[in-house]
Chains A and B, each alone.
Chain A
Amino acid sequence: MPSSPPARRLVSPRSIWLFSLVGALGIGAARGALAQAPAAVPTAPATAAAAPAPASAAPRIAFERYRLKNGLEVILHQDRSLPLIALNIWYHVGPSSEPRGRSGFAHLFEHLMFEGSRHVGSEFDRLLESAGATNVNGTTSWDRTNYFETVPREHLELVLWIESDRMGYMLDNLTQEGLDVQRGVVQNERRQTYENAPYGPSTLAMLDALFPEGHPYHGAVIGSMKDLEAAKLEDVRAFFQSYYAPSNATLAIAGDFDGAGVKALIERYFGTLSDRTRPKRERVATPPLAAPKRLTIVEPVQLARIAVGWIAPPAFGPDEPALQIAAGVLAGGKATRLYRELVVKKKVASEVDAEVDANELATTVIVSAVAASGKLPQDVERELDAVLAGLAAEGPTPDELDRARRRLMLALKSELQLLNGPGGESGRAGLLQRFNHYLGDPGYLDKWVDRINAVTAEDVRRVVHKHLSPNARLVVVTQPAPAQNAPKKGGSK
């Protein structure tokens, strides 16, 4: 029961399917205290304590990578154990490349990519559903946008037909009406995910204040209502022309395909699409906050909340493995520090979380806690500070380090069962894409696991001290509005 809106990826346009009516049956309620930090990777040596067996060898994902003449990059991963094929295309562009006054545009554009294309027409969803496609979606993150689906293997050619047509001919089917409808849909997505969701306004405030105005990561991926309102057809055309070229994309296919046949099909469907020069990307140096900042947001909730955000170095930098472990030492299980201290011992919080969101220019770390009933935000903040200070001073115990590492390893192995994960950046196709996008090396998995294994308690202490400093952070306090604490009986307004 995550009670905080996403600070990270926007999954759309189908993410509505993620909220299932299972919730209507009340399943899983009141278990929010153990919110999980995002999984990274890893394996671990055994400790004597509970005598678990030694961890097995570092996992690998077999792959082949090549390029078409027009620059389209292809990554193939064959696995014939189930007659399924997952296709996952990453365009190496995200909101960090949006034009001035067009926040939210990359994500709105992603919605429009489902509206149709010249030869296929506007029936993508009907075609895919008729073919029995599952995990159909697109997601937008700071530096990339992806589109993916899993189909029975006999429909490989169908999805190559659809994906190549929207890569080459999406503009041909673009209409003002389509833009207007999807603008309205996205505005409703913003209302549902942030404006009308508990702690949503606080999350928007965090994202608006963490990176300075003008920085590529300033604001939320969803954008502002005003900018969404301003988006025009010319913007769509310009964005497509600039960023949706074959050489700015990577196509990953995982599953039950014939090795030679698939290459011929990819060449047939994508080979004739013309390339354009992709705009140069430049890395913007993104240091931590220069001074502590603090905001208070009043919301119609009953429980206060504290969220603390930091800017850390870019994805896969030298300190990321230790930061991922630090997040696992802090939260995500009942034997973690924030949970033990804030929820169990001091009883100031009812829910704790630690998230690491690693991107090209910077990593965002957000540690948050929802207050227990009757507890003030300052009670929560004081205890949260004490835990962080303790970790920065002493580091984790050997058992804490081992548990965090093992949890990462099990999560990774569990995730590797999937051909493609729900957001298109986990599962095998998703991980190949992620490693390729950030490192240019789809096969980085075993190296990453080695790096996680090499993390020491001193590394964790050092990165917490260095990157999660009280002097370079943004604190967002959600203060309950006394007058509107709860939904009241009708008429009691």
Chain B
Amino acid sequence: MKRWLAMAAALVTAACGGATRAPAPLPAPSAMPSAGAINSPELWRTQKPGPGQPGQLAYPLPEVAKLDNGLVIYVVRRPGGVVDLAVVSRHGAASVPKSKSGLAALTARMLTEGTKAKSSLALAEATEALGSSLDGDAGRDYTKLELSTLREDLPRGLELLAEVVKTPAFRRDELERVRGEWLDGLVAERQQPVRIASLVGLRVLLGDEQGAPVAGSVPDVKRIAVADLVEFHRRAFAPGNLALIVAGDTTLAEVRPHAERLFGAWKVPGVADPKALAIPAPAATRVVLVDRPGAVQTALFVAQPFPKRSDPGYEARSILSQVVGGLFTSRINQNLREKHAYTYGARSQAIATRSWGAFVVTTSVKTQVTADALSELISEVKAARDPALGRPLADDELDRGRADLVNSVGAHLEHNSRVADDLLQMYVYTLPADYYAKYSNLILSVDRGEVARQAATLVPDQLLVVAVGDRSAIESPLREKGFRVESADPRTLE
């Protein structure tokens, strides 16, 4: 493959396009500087500059109000002429009935497909006329509808959201159309090795019911009926389960009268939260293999159970995950990417939902080094757990982990949508209204001992590993390293 070099512009004629241009040679060796020849060293530059006058990055307290019917309103004012709106239910994929996986996400989507007064197209035209789009989505613990508007369109945006939440159409013909599109989406998702690894991993780790994908399994999505949507909507979107989240160029005083008018008179009985889920770790590390013949990389998903969101130590576990695999300079990324060039990147996360948690590492590694990369990855989990292995958690890496968490939350103040996400977390996980205002202190007060105690709960010999890759190339090396390899149950791919 050749490219034209601007440096040798003389070689390029003003020929009509499509003509192949003569490529230039590399510059002659004599033209190349030797190392350091361009600028002379300057001794003063060896001195790292100290910090200047720090500012106060004060995460604002949201304005919070509760209507008589139980609906909670959160407002954070931000400049910029745009307002992000969301209606959030505390019920998501974790609250759907058995064999109806995908119901929360599909209900969210169907809420955007028409109201009693507006067809699907009319609703789309009305939102896009505001420059916006109405998005419905779900997670394990929430279902939400989002809309952003210019400041001047705020009343119109709230009216649309209320209409959608209160008077959905759930038309049978629209469900059939969306179902087709949805099932194709599931197929498309399962074309991606990284997604396959996560889908299989969560299902093996959490079991068929809670581990089913948020977007649903193919057989489950096929059996969801209009009655299921109606029932989930009735339960999840009862006002006592809902928050109206507002981030942008407005105030509670401005929003509240609209909310009273649009949402105030509406009452439905709510339902209880899902129960906590006890997940067992595997008795010994097991590798579940999904064959992808000819794949040039193996997608890896490595996981163990971890405490749920409300269990003590969440912040310490966040810092731990930063150090092990969350930062760019984390132990796993430095090892797999910067030392061995096995991958483009590797990352861990301490996932925590209302009913379960998991420590998860994901990466894609070159096929030929799959077994080596997995061994290195696990060795980093071991070293983080056991100080006797010679690399105890060090203050400088903990500081980087804390700094990254604190400043990432601080940077959320740059954009409405990030603030709205924080408010969603606050509502769904019943965090105090000053959680983000105090977040910095909270993180900085977690000491090394506390992180080390969390690290001691890592179980590097009892990990669930999912490997999506070329079986003929990776299975033997994995077995040679002593890994127990089994084939994925095809049902976990559905």
Contact = CB atoms under 8 A, between A and B. Distances in A.
A150 B395 CA distance: 24
A239 to B, nearest CB: 9
A133 B411 CA distance: 9
A129 B294 CA distance: 38
A284 B22 CA distance: 12
Contacts of B448: none
B194 A19 contact: yes
B252 interface: no
A219 B133 contact: no
A99 B24 contact: yes
Contacts of B138: 27
B399 A130 contact: yes
Contacts of B329: 125-126, 129
Interface in B52-84: 52-57, 78-82
A241 interface: yes
Interface in A43-69: 44, 47, 49-56, 59
A284 B15 CA distance: 8
Nearest to A483: B293
A168 to B, nearest CB: 4
Given A28-B137, A334-B128, A188 B341 contact: yes
B33 A31 contact: no
B343 A188 contact: yes
Nearest to B408: A134
B281 interface: no
A88 to B, nearest CB: 14
Interface string A15-47: 111011111111111111110000000001001
30 contacts: A16-B333, A23-B198, A24-B362, A30-B105, A53-B156, A82-B414, A95-B3, A103-B3, A132-B403, A152-B410, A153-B53, A154-B54, A154-B55, A169-B45, A188-B297, A188-B364, A188-B366, A234-B29, A272-B39, A279-B9, A282-B6, A287-B18, A288-B17, A350-B181, A403-B125, A411-B131, A487-B493, A490-B488, A491-B291, A493-B293
Contact of A227 (B1, B17, B33): B1
Contacts of B46: 119
B192 interface: yes
A103 B185 contact: no
A14 interface: yes
A97 B188 contact: no
Return the 5 tightest CB-CB contacts between A and B, nearest first. Answer: A83-B55, A16-B345, A184-B341, A30-B185, A490-B487
Contacts of B183: 373
A137 to B, nearest CB: 10
B459 to A, nearest CB: 19
A208 B3 CA distance: 11
A96 B38 CA distance: 24
Interface stretch (A192-200, A318-326, A432-440, A454-462): A192-200
A81 B413 CA distance: 10
A77 interface: no
Contacts of A300: 292-294
A19 B301 CA distance: 14
B215 A29 contact: yes
A230 B5 CA distance: 17
B238 interface: no
B346 to A, nearest CB: 8
